[in-house]
Structure 1
Amino acid sequence: MKNHKKLITLSILLLILISLIAVYNIKKYTKPKSEGIFYKVESNGNSLYLGGTIHIGKNEPIKFSKAVENAYEKSTTLVVETDITNTSTIRKYGKDVTYSSGDNLYKHITPAAKKHIEPIMKKLNLNLDTYKNDTLGYLYSTILNSELLSDDANSYGFDYYFLKRAKNDNKKIVALEDAKTQAAAINAGGDAYQNYQLENMLYPDDAKKAFNTQYNAVLNGDVNYFEKYDFGKNSNNKAVRDYYNSLILQRNINMYNKIKSYISSGKKYFIVVGTGHVLGPDGLVKMLKKDGFTVTRLK
C-alpha cells in the first residue's frame, strides 16, 4: 500500500468545501473576532461539546479561545470522525479505495476528466499510471492534497491537534466512523460525480487560495461563510445531489444519532468533525436545535 494513503484519509472536508464552494467565488477574507467553531450542547442537565475542524493544517501554532480550551479540559472523551493515528483503520481504508482485481481506473475515468487533470498532475510531478489501481475519488483527493501540501500546509488539521493532545492527556478516543465509511465518503456519488469533480478540478494556485480562505474561516469562527452555501443539496446536477446525500446528509444523520446517545449518557464528550458536517442546511447544529437541544456557541 502506498504510504501516502494515510495522508488522504481525512481530506473529506476539503472535498466538500473546495469542490462545492470554491468553484463559485474566492473572495478576500477578513478575520472576525471570535476563534473556532465550537458549541456547547445541552439537554436535561447533560452536556457535551461539538466543534468544526478542517482536515488539512498549517505549520503554525494553533490557539483557541479560553472557552474552547476549558471545554476540552472538562471532557473525558475525545470524539473524531476517524482516528488517523490508528494503523489498523488506515490499512482497512487503503483496501476500500483500491479497485478489485481485474478492474482499474482507466475503465472508469472519462476522456474529459483525463484531459483536464493531466496538466495538473504534470505540474505536480504526478503520473496517472501510478494510480491506475486506485478509485477515482482517491485519485481526486491525492491530487488535491498534492496541490495543498507545501511549506506552510500539512496533512494534520485541527482534529489531529486534539488527537495528539488527547493521547498525551490519556483521554479516551472514540471514532464516529470506521474505515469503510470513510472510504465510501471518498468514493461518494459514483463515477458520475467523481468524473464531474475531476473535470472541474481547480488548478494549484486557485486551490491554495480556496484552502487559505476556508482555513481562516474555520480557525476564526466565520459561521456565516459556511451557512451561505448549500453544499450542492439543491444543485441542478443529479450527480452533485447524490453526492451531497451520500457524503453529507446520510453521514450527518448517523453522526447525529450517536451524538444523541452521548448526551443521554451524562458523560463529557468533546467532539470535532468536519465543519461541513457541523454547519450547512442539514448540519448537526440545525438537527440538534430542531430536536430541542440547547446549542450555545463557545467564544
Structure 2
Amino acid sequence: MRRVPCEEGKVAKLPTSPNQTNPLWRAFACIASGLLLACLASAVSAQSPPGETRTFLWTVLSPTATVHLLGSVHVATRDLYPLDPRIESAFQRAHTLVLETSLDPASQVQAGQKMASAGTYPAGDSIDLHLDREVLELLQQRLKRSGASFDQMRAYRPWLVGVILSLAEMQRWGYHPGLGIDTYFARKAQDRKRIVALETLDEQVALFSGMSDTVQESMLKEALTKMDELGELMKKAQSAWRTGDAKAIDALMVAPMRRDYPEVFQRLFVARNRRMASAVDGYLRTTGEYFVVVGSGHLIGPEGILDLLQAKGYVPVQQ
C-alpha cells in the first residue's frame, strides 16, 4: 500500500481540535486496547456457501423479513471501493438502513461537541496528573515526533488523546473516517431510505467517559507502544474484511481485548452486542428488508451478534 507522504520519522500533523476526530472515536476501543497484538481466534460458526469467495455480509431470514448484516470498517482507504456487487445489491433491496449511531452532519457536529466535553478535564486538572512517569514519557515522545507540544494535549483525558494520536497515524497511511463503510452507506441512503440508529450519541460517549483512570492509562500506554505498527495492522484488517475473513478480523480487532481487558470487553462489546442482536431479532419479527451496518467486531466471535442470533434459532448465511 502506498503511504501518504510524511516527513521521515514523524507522524502526520495532529488535529488541533477534538471535533475533527468525531468519526473515529467509535473505533478507539479496538485501536487502544490491543488491536496491534497477534493472537489466535475461534472461527465464526455461521454458515457460508462452500467454495465461493466471501464478503463480510451475512443474511438472516425469517418467515416475514430479511436482515442483511454488514460488518463495517470505520476508517478505510480509497482502494476499498468499489464494494462487492453482492453488498451493493443487498443495500439496494433494503427499505431501511440501520447504523450504530446517526451519521448525518448535524449529529456529527453534536458528536464532536459531546466528545470534546466528555474528553476534557475540568479547569485545574490535566492529563499529567493522571499518568505515571513511564506513560507520560511515552506520550511526550510521541508528541515530539509529531511536532506537537504537550500543552496541546494537557487538558484531554487519555481516551481522547488516544483517539487524536491514532487518527493522525491512520491518516498518515491513507486511512480516513470519511471513507468508512458506515459513512459510505449513510451518504447513499440519504433521502432514499429510512435510517435508524441502534445507539444514541450519549450512549456511545458514555462508553469511554465511564472508563476508570487505570483502564484509560493502560489502553493509552498500549496504543503509544504499538502506534508504529498501526498502519500495517490496518492494511491486514482491510484485506481480511475484503475477503470476508471473520477469523482474521477477530484475531486482529477483538480477541486481544477479550483476552487482556475482559471487563472492558464486556462493556464495549458483549453488552452492546446483546442489545444489537435483540434489535435485529425485532426487525426479523416485522416485515420488509433491512440493511444493518455495525462494526465488524460486533458480528463475529463468541457472544458476537451472529452467535447470539444463532442461539435464538436463526441461521446467518455469509454471502
Q: TM-score, normalising length from structure 2? A: 0.81
Distance 1:177 1:279, change over 3 A: same
Q: Which residue of 2 aligns with 1:285?
A: 306
Corresponding position of 1:294: 315
Residues 24 and 167 of structure 2 are in contact (CA less than 8 Å); yes or no, is this contact kept in structure 1? no
How big is the shift at 1:4? 4.3
Shift of 1:248: 1.0
- Amino acid of the structure 2 residue aligned with 1:36: T
* Deviation for aligned residue 1:20: 2.6
The amino acid across from 1:75 in the alignment is: A
- The CA distance in 2 between the partners of 1:61 and 1:211, in whole Å, is 12
**Distance of 1:220 and 1:186 partners within structure 2:** 31
- The answer on whether the counterparts of 2:24 and 2:163 sit within 8 Å (CA) in structure 1 is no
Which stretches of structure 1, 4 residues or longer, exceed 6 Å deviation after superposition?
none
What does 1:49-198 correspond to in 2, within 5 Å?
A: 49-60=68-79, 62-84=81-103, 85=105, 86=107, 87-150=109-172, 152-156=174-178, 157-167=180-190, 170-187=192-209, 189-198=211-220
Aligned Cα RMSD in Å?
A: 2.6
Q: Is the 8 A contact 1:105 1:134 kept in 2?
A: yes
What is the distance in 2 between the residues matched to 1:177 and 1:166?
18
Q: Provide, for residues 200-248 of structure 1, a one-character-per-residue CA deviation record: whole Å limited to 9, x for no partner.
A: 224543111111111211122111213456343344xxxx122111111
Q: Distance in 2 between matches of 1:197 and 1:94?
A: 19
Distance in 1 of aligned mates of 2:186 and 2:19: 19
Secondary structure of the structure 2 residue equivalent to 1:78: strand
Q: 2:59 aligns with which of 40, 43, 54?
A: 40
Once the two structures are superposed, residues 239-293 of structure 1 have per-residue CA deviations (whole angstroms, 9 ceiling, x without a partner) of x122111111111122222222222222322111111111122211111111111
Count how many residue pairs are aligned between Structure 1 and Structure 2: 288
Cα separation, 1, equivalents of 2:222 and 2:32: 11
Identity %: 21
CA contact (8 A) 1:124 1:147 kept: no
Contact 1:234 1:241 in 2 (8 A): yes
Flag structure 2 segments of 5+ consecutive residues without an equivalent.
1-14, 40-50
Q: Indicate how the Cα distance of structure 1 residues 188 and 92 shifts in structure 2: closer, same or farther if over 3 A, else same.
A: closer
Distance in 1 of aligned mates of 2:185 and 2:300: 20
